[in-house]
Structure 1
C-alpha cells in the first residue's frame, strides 16, 4: 500500500431515490476532483424515508443503487463504498447492505448489517430497524488490496459493538469503514467518541461517511462525517452540511502508531 486520499461523503438523503443518487454523484465528483481514490457513501445514501416506504420500493432501490455504484466506480476509476441500502431478503424484509466496488465495476465485498437499531430515544423518536430489516448472520471479512490496504466493513449501529472490530483487526484490518445515519440525539454525545475509540483500540484508520440534517418528519442525523487516524486524531470533519471529508491514508503513519503502541500484539483474550 502507498499513501492515497480517501473521502467520507456526507449527505442529507430524502425519501426520493433519484434525487439522492443525483446528490451522491455530485459529491463523488467533488471527492474525485480533490484526488480521492477510495470514496465512501453513508448508510441510506440512496433512500432515507419511512420504513414502510423503503420496504415497498426495496427491489427498485437495490437495483438502481447497485447499478449506480458500479457506474460511478467505473466512470471515475475509484474504489467506491455504498454504505448501506436495502436488498430484498426473506420474510418480507431487506438486508441493510454495504457494497464495495472496484474501479472496474466489480463487487469486492458485501456485508449485511448485523446489529439492528431498535431504540426508543428521549427526544420522542422510536426506531425499530428489525421491523423491516433482516439481520446479517456473519461477521464481515476484510478486503485486502495492494493499493488501498486491508479494509473492513461495518454499518452505523455496529460501532457500539467493539467485538466486531476486534474480529476485523484480528484478520489484519488497517482501515475500518463505518458508514452511518447516526441520530442527532445520540450523535452529539457518542459519535466522535465511538469513532475514535474504534480507531485507537484497533490502531486502524477509520473512514466514517455520514448523514446530516433533516430527512423527513422528525428524522434528523448528526452529521460530522470524518476520517480518523490510528492514534485517534481527527484528520478531517465534514461538519453539519452536505459535503466531503478527505484525508490521507498513510501506511508509514499506520506502522509508526503500531510501533509506538503495540497493543494488538499484547492481546490476551483472542
Structure 2
C-alpha cells in the first residue's frame, strides 16, 4: 500500500498490515514568524531531514502548527484574531503542498500541523490536519469537539466524522488535542483497527498541556495502543492565535509487560523544542492485547452503560 485509505471509525475491523517495529518522531514545535513561504518550507524541511536521518518513518507536527503560514497571507493583520484566522484559511492550500513535497522527497508519512480551513456548508472554519503519504496522497481529520476558546473567541466549528487511516505503516487514528480527552472518540478508532493514535496539541498553559498528556496516557491504557503527542511551544507576540504555548512532546504506551512500566516510551522536556524519537514495539503491543496483565480493550463492554455495538 503506497497511499492512504480512510474508513469510518467505530466499525470493528482488523486494520491494515503493520510492521512489528516503527520509528516515529513527535515535534515539540517552536512557533516562529517566517519571513516567506520558502523560509518556512526550508525550516520544516531541515527539521524533517533531521528526524529522517535518525530513522523516523512517521513524523507528527502539532495542532495549529499551520498558523505560522497565516502571517504570509495579505489578509493577515497583527492584533486582529479574526483576520489571522481568515489569513490561515487562505494559506491552507500552500501549507498542504509543502508537506506533500516533503513526504515525497523524504519518503515518509507526515502529519501536517493543523490550521483553520473553510469547508462548504460550514458557517465557521474547521480545525483540520492532513496525514500525507510518501507518494504525496493525503487524507484529513477535523477536530470534532471544540474548546471554549475555539467556540467563544476563535469561532472555529466542529468538523466531519471520525475516521481511521490505512497506510503502509498500519492503521492510524488522529485525535486533535481536546478530542483526546473524550474516551469514545479514540475508542472508535481503536475498534476500527488503529493501534497508533496521533495527538497534535496546542495549549497555552502548563495545566492545559497536562490535561492533554493525562488524556494521552489514559487513551493508551484503555485502548492498549500507542499515542504520539506533538505540541506547540514558545511565545509568538505577532500572533493573537498562538501567542503563548506550553508543552512537551511524548510517546506513550499501555503500562504492561514488555512495555514501559510507567507507560512513557519517550518524553521530551517541557517547552524544549526538538524531536522526541522512539521505536514502537508492535509485537509487544500485540502480546499485551492478547495476554496482558489486564485486558481493557477486551473488557470495555463490561463497564456500566457501555455501548453494546463496540466489540473488542
Tell me the TM-score normalized by structure 1. Answer: 0.87
With 233-242 and 216-225 compared, the bigger mean Cα shift is at: 216-225
1:73 matched to 2:94? The reply is no
- Pairs aligned (count): 260
Give the match for residue 171 of structure 2.
Answer: 150
Give the match for residue 77 of structure 2.
Answer: none
CA-CA distance at 1:66 after TM superposition: 0.7
1:89 and 1:14 mapped to 2: Cα distance? 27
Deviations 1:159-212, CA, capped at 9 Å, x for gaps: 211110111111121001110112224235423322111111111000111111
Q: In the TM superposition, what are the counterparts of 1:221-260 in structure 2 within 5 Å?
A: 221-231=245-255, 233-239=263-269, 240-258=271-289, 259-260=291-292
Runs of 5+ in structure 2 lacking a partner? 1-17, 71-79, 256-261, 308-312
1:37 and 1:235 mapped to 2: Cα distance? 17
Tell me which structure has the larger Cα radius of gyration: 2
With 30-39 and 216-225 compared, the bigger mean Cα shift is at: 216-225
Give the match for residue 26 of structure 2.
Answer: 8
Give the match for residue 210 of structure 1.
Answer: 231
CA-CA distance at 1:92 after TM superposition: 5.7
2:178 and 2:246 mapped to 1: Cα distance? 13
CA contact (8 A) 2:28 2:232 kept: yes
Give the match for residue 199 of structure 1.
Answer: 220
Give the match for residue 124 of structure 1.
Answer: none
Runs of 5+ in structure 1 lacking a partner? 120-126
CA contact (8 A) 1:8 1:226 kept: yes
| C-alpha RMSD of matched pairs (Å) | 2.3
With 64-73 and 259-268 compared, the bigger mean Cα shift is at: 259-268
Give the match for residue 189 of structure 2.
Answer: 168
2:110 and 2:214 mapped to 1: Cα distance? 26
Tell me the TM-score normalized by structure 2. Answer: 0.76
CA-CA distance at 1:15 after TM superposition: 5.3
Deviations 1:87-116, CA, capped at 9 Å, x for gaps: 222556322111111100011x31111111
CA contact (8 A) 1:61 1:86 kept: no
Give the match for residue 134 of structure 2.
Answer: 103
**Counterpart selection for 2:158 from 132, 135, 151:** 135
